[in-house]
Structure 1
């Protein structure tokens, strides 16, 4: 038993201890008046008896408290009829009505929670199946656009490709959002070429880059990172889509990529910058909040989900994010990757 437990018992028993001390003082006075010859002996016996009684009662209270605690914990873990009756036995039938009321409430809440869990599982399964179903017509549209490109004007092709990329991006957002809500997500950790991963993401967005006439400037060198390739490509795609979406059409737009090593944080980094519309300084602390769109003239284009998903995935993969922006001058986001010699040593939090 901890010293704090004894102190709590003493505090709770203090009224009875004070009453016992007052009674002892009264009987000590009577003994002094009635039996002056044996006064010291009687006082000694009374003090020893009182002290022993206090210690004995405290031990009984401690045992009873332990039993009550076990009954409470069992009841709150599982408010079954059996645990309810055990709790009533331990605290007394005086509290039976209150325990019955609490037990009924908890059982109803547990039933509602179980039902909500089943609905969530059904919803996740529906979303994932829908995403996989919708990918088939998207692939068909991609194939038709590639095969019929020569039959369309450049403008029509760009418009169709723009729409296809936006639909595909929205579908990926839904899939990753559903995955992140799951209780357990498996990540496939492997050695990844950072430059190749960026190139793959940019290749998928090439039509948007051409339409907006955005130039990609790369100062990338391969750095030895370990991560989940699919999740990383999704992160890069969301960053590039934002850079394209919020580009400044009045100037020659660019996306600048740079890799390197941060000796202070002992991490490899990838910095992605643009000269787009940027973000207000007052919005920067909130850009990763779910649904946040900020004070931006292109607010209608934003859902506030992309950056939220980026932050969640980076947390899972232990990637640090640093963001800097100046409104109407540009935006930069830096991803800092942990140094992993063996991918088995990377703990992924779930």
Structure 2
């Protein structure tokens, strides 16, 4: 009996020794892999058998490595996007600025063309001002510094006031228009300033790029949402561009990008999302383009 007990104890001691040695080896493997991770190899993973003393620890370490890799990928993507933004900005700012300086120099050298050069220089300065304003607005949206003031507004009345400021511009550009905005009181929780920027950007986009001579804006509503449809009869947007027109810095084909900063429609989508709404677009070449905006009556 004593011999049996001694044998059992020896087996237990040997088992514990093997177990400790095995765990020590696994810990060393974990340590080596963590050294690789610390050196920047975030594709390494720790391995462990299930139901072992260190398996739960290994799983948690792997989760941390995966999270760090995801954060690194996101940071690299963000850095690349901002490099592209800076590159685009440097070009887009230089071009109108160089044109402005050029026309002012011509004005100095040829006073007889004063009226033409002044008018052209003014237009270039306005383009530059619009671009800088769009840039600041986008950066505020990107950084989360845009401050929203949500209040109950009569969206029909607010829309009519915004459109009234566009009447002279549309007439000056030779664009006939039709506004169908109900006189009803349509109360909506929204940010009036953001809604103004949304409409202004869409109308500005039409004036600059559509080559339209007719514009129609219709507002309808029911118990759950408000729908605003903005249609023109312009040159349309190529089908391959439609999925990307709300992307930052996307300018589409050359005919639509000469005076574009690639930020206007991106700002529209960002602001509309903040208001709880959505926007969609349909377009046919040489037939025109229709934007449809949806805003919910209830907004969190």
Q: 1:206 to 1:219 in 2, by over 3 A?
A: closer
Aligned counterpart in structure 2 of residue 278 of structure 1, from 236, 250, 274? 236
Q: 1:161 to 1:212 in 2, by over 3 A?
A: farther
Higher alpha-carbon Rg: 1
Query: Residue 177 of structure 1 corresponds to which residue in structure 2?
Result: 138
- Contact kept, 8 Å, 1:279 with 1:296, in 2: the verdict is no
TM-score (norm: length of structure 2)? 0.58
1:115-130 alignment runs, 5 A limit: none
Q: CA deviation at 1:208?
A: 4.0
Structure 2 residue matching 1:241: 3-state secondary structure = helix
Query: Residue 196 of structure 2 corresponds to which residue in structure 1?
Result: 233
**Larger relative helix fraction:** 1
Aligned counterpart in structure 1 of residue 292 of structure 2, from 334, 338, 342? 334
Could you list the per-position Cα deviations for residues 107-161 of structure 1 after superposition, in whole angstroms to 9, with x for gaps in the alignment? xx99x98xx8xxx9xx9xxxxxxxxxxxxxxxxxxxxxxxxxxxxx999997677
Structure 2 residue matching 1:279: 3-state secondary structure = coil
Q: 1:187 to 1:227 in 2, by over 3 A?
A: same
Q: CA deviation at 1:179?
A: 1.7
TM-score (norm: length of structure 1)? 0.51
1:300-311 alignment runs, 5 A limit: 300-311=258-269
Query: Residue 98 of structure 1 corresponds to which residue in structure 2?
Result: 33
Unaligned runs of 5+ in 1: 1-52, 65-87, 124-152, 341-345
Could you list the per-position Cα deviations for residues 30-88 of structure 1 after superposition, in whole angstroms to 9, with x for gaps in the alignment? xxxxxxxxxxxxxxxxxxxxxxx9xxx9xxx9xx9xxxxxxxxxxxxxxxxxxxxxxx9
- Contact kept, 8 Å, 2:210 with 2:235, in 1: the verdict is yes
CA distance in 2, matches of 1:205, 1:90: 76
Q: 1:95 to 1:281 in 2, by over 3 A?
A: closer
CA distance in 1, matches of 2:119, 2:192: 28
Root mean square deviation of aligned Cα:
4.2
Q: 1:156 to 1:195 in 2, by over 3 A?
A: farther
Query: Residue 255 of structure 1 corresponds to which residue in structure 2?
Result: 215
Could you list the per-position Cα deviations for residues 3-30 of structure 1 after superposition, in whole angstroms to 9, with x for gaps in the alignment? xxxxxxxxxxxxxxxxxxxxxxxxxxxx
- Contact kept, 8 Å, 2:217 with 2:230, in 1: the verdict is yes
Query: Residue 275 of structure 2 corresponds to which residue in structure 1?
Result: 317
**Structure with greater contact order relative to length (CA < 8 Å, sep ≥ 6):** 2
Query: Residue 65 of structure 2 corresponds to which residue in structure 1?
Result: none
Q: 1:268 to 1:95 in 2, by over 3 A?
A: closer
- Contact kept, 8 Å, 1:218 with 1:258, in 2: the verdict is yes
Query: Residue 294 of structure 1 corresponds to which residue in structure 2?
Result: 252
Unaligned runs of 5+ in 2: 1-11, 42-67, 83-113
